[in-house]
């Protein structure tokens, strides 16, 4: 498997070099990867569906559409256009591991840069194993815009709520906590909540830094007193959700087949 992925990466680099008349960086690849149709009887603690990346491994249990969405950094499966039903309906178990040379070269990268490289590696893997061919497009559609309130942002600095070595937001119904997050992290969290009405959440705050937060609200599914998500965002973070239209990225799957045997 490693040799097949390496051959694909080298061939792609050669084509790029021939096209542009100069050397091109070889696309990064996983050292080893297994993909198989999901076994519903196999239980993974804490995970029923989704993509779980770490520094040296990406484990996933999801459809090809969801894998493509993750590989291209999209928020919603609806941003991936598939022409065959199995691409969205069938789940696959994927376990891809980063080899030592690549892991060493990624050690000095930021968490965001490492994640971006893992996404590139996933694209290479999907091309090799699923024969994936795609087109990236942009289209205007309805979105939820994340914007700053008139009163301004009310964010805490990283470190105000403890150690901030880990990026991201930890959430459960009615709460979300972070010691080192970005507005993109917040938008990616909000897009999965029912209050977003299934629409992409676009960051229009203009805030480029990192922050800490402790958000508390009453979910729409709970009958209880307390601030709604919309109120909590405004009062606790100084941001608001506004319906708007914007240009968002989409991926069109032109060709794909069920994965080859491991």
What are 177-228's pLDDT values in tens digits? 998 899 999 999 999 999 999 999 999 999 999 999 999 999 988 888 899 9
Lowest mean pLDDT among 22-36, 94-108, 142-156: 22-36
Look at residue 67 and tell me if it is in a domain.
Answer: yes
| CA–CA gap between residue 251 and residue 78 (Å, rounded) | 10
| Residues in CB range of 45: below 8 A, 6 or more apart | none
pLDDT tens column, 40-60: 655 554 445 678 887 788 999
Look at residue 260 and tell me if it is in a domain.
Answer: no
Q: Are residues 76 and 193 in the same domain?
A: no
Q: Are residues 191 and 241 in the same domain?
A: yes
- DSSP for the chain, please give it: -HHHHHHHHHHHHHHHHHHHTS--PPPP--SEEEEEE--TT--BTTBSSEEEE-SSEEEEEEEHHHHHHHHTT-S-GGGEE-SSTHHHH-EEEEEEE--HHHHHHHTTS-HHHHHHHHHHHHHHHHHHHH--EEEEEEEEEEEEEEEE-TT---PBPTTTTS---S-EEEEETTEEEEEEE-HHHHHHHHTTSGGGTT--EEE-S---S-EEEEEE---TT---SS--HHHHIIIIISEEEEEEEEEEEEEEEEE--SPPP-
Residue closest to 24 by CA, chosen among 4, 38, 10:
10
Asked whether the beta carbons of 224 and 93 are under 8 A apart, the reply is: no
* Residue 241: domain span: 139-248
Q: Are residues 39 and 64 in the same domain?
A: yes
- Give pLDDT, residue 16: 41
* Tokens matching residue 191: 């897009």
Domain count, the chain: 2
pLDDT of residue 258 exceeding 60, the answer is: yes
End-to-end CA distance of the chain: 7
Q: Are residues 9 and 121 in the same domain?
A: yes
Residue closest to 219 by CA, chosen among 229, 233, 209:
229
Q: Are residues 66 and 102 in the same domain?
A: yes
* Domain edge (last residue) among 130, 148, 169: 130
Look at residue 55 and tell me if it is in a domain.
Answer: yes
Q: Are residues 155 and 64 in the same domain?
A: no
Q: Are residues 24 and 115 in the same domain?
A: yes
Look at residue 253 and tell me if it is in a domain.
Answer: no
* Domain edge (last residue) among 83, 112, 130: 130
- Give pLDDT, residue 231: 97
Look at residue 262 and tell me if it is in a domain.
Answer: no
Q: Are residues 43 and 109 in the same domain?
A: yes
* Domain edge (last residue) among 130, 147, 166: 130
Look at residue 258 and tell me if it is in a domain.
Answer: no
Mean pLDDT of the chain: 85
Separation in Å, CA 93 to CA 98, 128, 132, 135, 220:
17, 16, 17, 25, 33
Separation in Å, CA 218 to CA 185, 196, 223:
20, 15, 8
Look at residue 76 and tell me if it is in a domain.
Answer: yes
Look at residue 257 and tell me if it is in a domain.
Answer: no
């Amino acid at each position: 498997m490693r040799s097949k992925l390496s051959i694909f990466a080298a061939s792609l680099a050669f084509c790029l070099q021939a096209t542009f008349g100069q050397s091109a960086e070889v696309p990064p690849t996983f050292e080893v990867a297994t993909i198989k149709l999901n076994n519903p009887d196999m239980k993974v603690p804490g995970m029923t569906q989704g993509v779980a990346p770490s520094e040296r491994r990406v484990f996933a249990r999801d459809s090809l559409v969801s894998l493509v969405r993750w590989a291209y950094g999209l928020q919603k499966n609806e941003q991936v256009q598939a022409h065959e039903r199995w691409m969205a309906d069938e789940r696959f178990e994927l376990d891809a591991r980063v080899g030592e040379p690549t892991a060493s070269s990624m050690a000095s990268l930021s968490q965001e840069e490492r994640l971006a490289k893992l996404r590139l590696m996933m694209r290479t893997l999907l091309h090799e194993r699923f024969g994936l061919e795609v087109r990236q497009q942009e289209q205007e559609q309805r979105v939820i815009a994340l914007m700053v309130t008139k009163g301004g942002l009310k964010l805490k600095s990283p470190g105000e709520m403890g150690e901030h070595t880990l990026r991201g937001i930890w959430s459960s119904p009615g709460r979300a906590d972070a010691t080192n997050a970005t507005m993109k992290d917040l938008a990616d969290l909000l897009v999965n909540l029912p209050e977003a009405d299934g629409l992409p959440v676009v960051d229009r705050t203009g805030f480029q830094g990192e922050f800490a937060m402790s958000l508390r609200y009453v979910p729409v599914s709970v009958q209880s007193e307390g601030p709604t998500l919309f109120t909590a965002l405004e009062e606790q973070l100084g941001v608001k959700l506004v319906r708007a239209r914007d240009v968002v990225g989409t991926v069109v799957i032109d060709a794909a087949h069920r994965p080859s045997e491991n």
